[in-house]
Structure 1
């Protein structure tokens, strides 16, 4: 049926086809984070209008009754080139095609969870040279229109004779189109020199910077903050889990220095990546302390089923759940860390469920953000005004009588046929 003709409202769990990005689509009956129930009209990749339920003109539409509609998350710290390698049976192939396949699969897994943009840190140098980076960039092109995949070039060494190859490859990576450069200064014999080199190349080419550090050396963090201050388009560092090992007063001072420099900290509540980077692991950066010091804090998922986290899910809602469940942030602020703050760390435009903003949206079955973080399994993902992913989950209850069963949607608050809340 042509897009210009009215269509019956369809549930995101139904058989509706994915919608064209250049057409008009109305999301009907969605609940916003503030409790309002609205219709949202999308057109040309943006939100065209938001009105009370039933107030917008008919057209192609999706029924989001029972869903919460939110700005879509983004993934600011992925490792797609090593994703999905934690399997039994010996080493996996690491050729270009294999890296591209795993990168594509990892990005689509994260898209299904709601992340419409992914920043992947990719190692360059060593035996792989630039092949992994080339594979990730090829995956990026293949995924265009479904998700935004960007790459961070990560050389192992940059200083001294041993770092000459890494420096040359970093410059080649910029020529290949990489707009973010990073790495782990802690692994270089001269961490300060490493950071200075990265920041210098970034300033020369207008690149963003995204560095790994475990953050347990106050003096090193202080120097990094001083060097990074004022660099535009900006500097992100993570996972900074080592800050949680510092005495309180030192951690506060480090936070104040990072805030003054305008550095964003990307924490990884699901487990940091420092195992694979050669550092020490810890649970998470002290998010509440950093925010109190004025630091902008985003949250990412980190490793996705590789040596650093063999059970990583790549789910931004899980990252937000962990921040909230550990008391670091309220559910609302925890979700903001994986959505608005994550997008800002990646240099992406702000998203609000308001007219004029990009149509980057996530609908999750539930009645509020706390419920979404607790049991947010059924999801519908919108990228550039187009439904690009949909997940439907159901839970079934049964007993010895085959004809006596209760089947309910996993996240939708409703009573079971036997009474009571089936989610409790």
Structure 2
């Protein structure tokens, strides 16, 4: 039986680390206090979880979400298509959406994320069309307060090219954390990049820009890197699909500039695989940023799911293991690299303290029923325990019944040649 949640946990017993080592883990409030050989904490007092048969990982962090758009696909029923068609479809819907609708969908989406092991989320928030541009920020600020103590939620502005600075600045009074925007979609992408970075400097917050979300066209990351080289403010960029289409010599120069400016790059495989390449019916490009080159160059890299069941992505499970799977299959990362990008790497880009099953780290942990870390990605078992700051905040126990042949019958059939 699952206990009432949240519940402070003192020990985790019999878990397996990503490298296969069986361990017990002692927690001291929100911090991992000790990692011991399996069995070392048997019989000790306190609240303990038995994790025999589970792999213990750093909890997922979703570095790029759109909670104000989530779960609208079935209502909008948009045509399947590329980025411009998705933008148009959602804009039509957003005119009719209100604060209550946004909060309800965000709440349901965060609940799914938490159940699957995500304990930190950064969401971009559109300025609503019509007379109430700040409805999304009020809704998500309220939802953030409701989820306080269960997960960390950061909010990023996502203005249109005609959003005036005064309204943009009001979003920070309502609790927005970072300046965002998609300057590559504006009439003058370089001037738009400067405008957004000027605002971030003036307000004194960092920037997390949608950058170069297309297979061709303008590149704004170079300007971002030039401006951010002297920054002490947080800085990151999501999508960056254009990097994946550059010549190797061009890519090397841009990656070096990104590294020197210490811009965190956020890859978003599921949405970019869906949105990009519609006009290339053969040899369709993958639509993912140049993750291998970025990782090998020492750039801080994260990965997320981006949109969940909206015109920008009709699918999505709110599951960091889904993102990890796509990183392995579509981006050719190793399973260990994929888990890093959705866990430790994502937390780094979000500016959060280190977490996971390491002494001294924050006890944000995900336990998944699996024999290995790779199996956890492959099968993504629903059996999971999720801890945030040392408290159990989600537990899922799967009961499964499958009619399978009895082993004895299979052997008999094989021996008689009937199989």
**TM-score > 0.5, shorter chain as reference:** yes
**In structure 1, the residue corresponding to 2:74 is in which secondary structure?**
coil
2:321 paired residue number:
317
Instruction: Indicate if the aligned counterparts of 2:13 and 2:50 stay in contact, CA closer than 8 A.
Output: yes
CA contact (8 A) 2:211 2:240 kept: yes
Within 5 Å, which residues of 2 pair with 1:245-394? Answer: 245-272=245-272, 283-326=287-330, 328-377=332-381, 378-394=383-399
Q: Does 1:397 align with 2:388?
A: no
Deviation of the 1:356 alpha carbon: 2.2
Distance in 2, matches of 1:307 and 1:351, equals: 33
Equivalent positions of 1:84-123 (< 5 A) are 84-88=71-75, 94-123=97-126
Q: Return the alpha-carbon distance in structure 2 between the equivalents of residues 282 and 391 of structure 1.
A: 34
Task: Output the CA distance in 2 between the equivalents of 1:273 and 1:180.
Answer: 26
Whose relative contact order is higher, 1 or 2, with alpha carbons under 8 Å and at least 6 apart? 2
d(CA) in 1 for partners of 2:68, 2:172: 18
1:243 corresponds in structure 2 to: 243
Residue 77 of structure 2 corresponds to residue 79 of structure 1 = no
Deviations 1:280-319 (A, max 9, x none): 9953112112222332211010100000001122221111
Q: TM-score, with normalisation over the residues of structure 2?
A: 0.84
Q: Among residues 49, 56, 71, which one is paired with 2:34 in the alignment?
A: 49
- Indicate the SS of the match to 2:10: strand
Instruction: Give the secondary structure class of the aligned counterpart of 2:401.
Output: strand
State the distance in 1 between where 2:117 and 2:235 align: 25
Deviations 1:102-143 (A, max 9, x none): 011111111111110110000115325010111011110111
Give the gaps of 5 or more residues in structure 1. Answer: 1-13, 158-162, 400-404, 407-415
The answer (yes or no) to whether the contact 2:61–2:118 under 8 Å persists in 1 is yes
Gaps of 5+ in 2: 78-92, 412-419
What is the alpha-carbon distance in structure 2 between the residues aligned to residue 109 and residue 82 of structure 1? Answer: 15
SS at 1:372 equivalent: helix
Return the structure number with greater helix share.
Answer: 2
In 2: Cα distance, 1:201 partner to 1:296 partner:
24
Q: Deviations over 1:73-115 (max 9, x none)?
A: 1000000001000014775851111100101111111111111
Q: Is the 8 A contact 1:302 1:314 kept in 2?
A: no
Aligned partner of 1:153 among 152, 157, 160: 157
Encode CA deviations 1:385-414: one digit per residue, 9 max, x unaligned. 111112233543216xxxxx78xxxxxxxx
Q: How many residues align?
A: 383
CA contact 1:269–1:300 (8 Å) conserved in 2: yes
**What is the TM-score with the length of structure 1 in the denominator?**
0.83
User: In the TM superposition, what is the alpha-carbon distance from 1:177 to its structure 2 partner?
Assistant: 2.0
Contact 2:212 2:218 (C-alpha < 8 Å) held by counterparts: no
**CA shift at 1:43, angstroms?**
2.9
For 1:18-75, what per-residue CA distance to the aligned partner results, in whole angstroms no more than 9, with x for missing partners? 3534xx5211111111222111122322222221222232321110000011111100
Q: Deviations over 1:297-347 (max 9, x none)?
A: 110101000000011222211111111123531100110001111011111
**Root-mean-square deviation (Å):** 2.6
Over 3 Å counting, the alpha-carbon distance change for 1:69 and 1:229 in structure 2 is same
1:8 matched to which residue of 2? none
Partner residue in 2 for 1:175: 173
Report the Cα distance in structure 2 between the residues aligned to 1:393 and 1:219, rounded to whole angstroms.
46
2:31 matches 1:33: no
Q: Which residue of 1 aligns with 2:231?
A: 231
